[in-house]
C-alpha cells in the first residue's frame, strides 16, 4: 500500500489528499510563526530578568564596597587614636 497517494496504485493523489497536504502545511507554517513569537517573547523575558539580576548584583557589590570603605576608615581612625592621638 503506497502511503504517498492515499493507498491508490498508479502514483496519483486525489484532490482531497492535495487539499489536506496544503491545509496541513498552512497550519504548520502558522504554528512555526507562533512558536517564533513565543521564543522571542521568552528570550526577551529571560534577558530582562538577567538584566534585573545583574543590576541587583551591582547594587550589592556597591553596598559591600561602601561598608568595606567605612570599616577601613573606622580602623584607620582607631589606629591613629591608639598610636598617638588625633
pLDDT tens profile 62-79: 999 999 999 999 999 999
- The model's confidence at residue 9, banded by pLDDT at 50, 70 and 90, is low
Share of the chain above pLDDT 90, in %: 78
Place of cell 573606622: 74
CB 5 within 8 A of CB 17: yes
Cell of 57: 548584583
What are the residues whose beta carbons fall under 8 Å from the beta carbon of 1, sequence distance 6 or more? 7
What pLDDT was estimated at residue 42? 97
Full-model pTM: 0.56
Cell of 25: 502545511
CB-count burial class (<10 Å; 0-12, 13-18, 19+) for 22 = exposed
The per-residue pLDDT for range 15-34, each reduced to its tens digit, is 999 999 999 999 999 999 99
Cβ atoms within 10 Å of 72's Cβ, excluding its own: 10
CB 12 within 8 A of CB 6: no
Amino acid at each position: 500500500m503506497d502511503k504517498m497517494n492515499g493507498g491508490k496504485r498508479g502514483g496519483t493523489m486525489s484532490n482531497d489528499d492535495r487539499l489536506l497536504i496544503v491545509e496541513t502545511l498552512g497550519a504548520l507554517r502558522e504554528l512555526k510563526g507562533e512558536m517564533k513569537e513565543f521564543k522571542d517573547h521568552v528570550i526577551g523575558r529571560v534577558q530582562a530578568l538577567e538584566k534585573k539580576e545583574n543590576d541587583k548584583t551591582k547594587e550589592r557589590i556597591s553596598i559591600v564596597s561602601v561598608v568595606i570603605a567605612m570599616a577601613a576608615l573606622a580602623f584607620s581612625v582607631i589606629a591613629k587614636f591608639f598610636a598617638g592621638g588625633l
